[in-house]
Amino acid sequence: MNRDVTVRGRRMHACLLGSGDITIVLLSGSCVPLPQLEYRPLIKALATDQFVVLLEKFGYGGSDSTSQPRDLPHVVAEYREALAALDVPLPVVLAAHSMGFLEALYWTQHYPGEVSALVGIDPATPDSYRDFDMEKAAKQITNLSQKPLLRKIAADRYCRQLFRQLEIPPERRSDLHAKALRNFAGPVWAAESEAPTRCWRPCPKPPLPCPAPFPRFFSSPTAKGHPCPPPCGGSMVWISWGIWSMGSIFCWICPTICTRQLRISLPKKSRPGCVQPLNRSKGGSYDDI
């Protein structure tokens, strides 16, 4: 089911699917024009016995753009308002890809009562950027954002590949292509890249709240990340995939493997008394995504 909610005067889009005792909130990585499609196989696989909510932050997917700061406090506050508007019970499992994991870390550390488990999918952490040339990356995105023709060429190629792999019906392609073109290297991406240090400096150091299970999944055995110690009383699972170099490709092609390992790692039950099973009417058919 696709739903739009109003957050701070703007429209935020969410995809909801499935039902179950566990609610998984999926947070997108950065520079993902259409999260609802890129994570589609993973959502479908997880939603067989769990309730999955994909929140598309502003400037991504079907959500509006925004001129608000893109630091962690603002982004997480918007996510939390969206969950409240969707009537999603707390706590939830946060499953975050790439830079979205910084948002999940901040969320868990500042609002521990709202998170029952934390899952990283090719997760980014503050130390992930220690040797990364953010200034160069920011310059490239900013330059691209100022070149409409290059943005269109890049968005066209992105959509062709995505539509072919996911067999998107022709009648849906025009609307999705327009959203991808609007989002690709748009104002939000530029804002995120021009002030990158604000994305992680507000994120305090571990330890995380206890007990918060903390599995992490990597698509490359050479993935570099901050070696956060597992939360006290929690658990940590390291999975090296070795064959996929991009988290988005990993989500497209390996949903079954990812789902199997995710279910092994997640708690069988959320905190007693905190999460009630959601009625199946809360979700929708996968074709609605």
Query: What domains does the chain contain, in order, with CATH numbers?
Result: 2-288 (3.40.50.1820)
Instruction: Note the pLDDT tens digit of each residue in 136-178.
Output: 877 888 888 889 999 999 999 999 999 999 999 999 999 999 9
Residues 6+ apart with CB under 8 A from 157: none
Instruction: Note the pLDDT tens digit of each residue in 43-85.
Output: 999 999 999 999 999 999 999 999 898 888 899 999 999 999 9
Q: What is the pLDDT of residue 205?
A: 52
pTM of the predicted structure, to 2 decimals? 0.75
Supply the DSSP symbol for 87.
T
pLDDT band for position 269 (cuts 50, 70, 90): very low
User: CA 52, CA 115: separation in Å to the nearest integer?
Assistant: 14
Element (H, E) at 217: strand 216-218
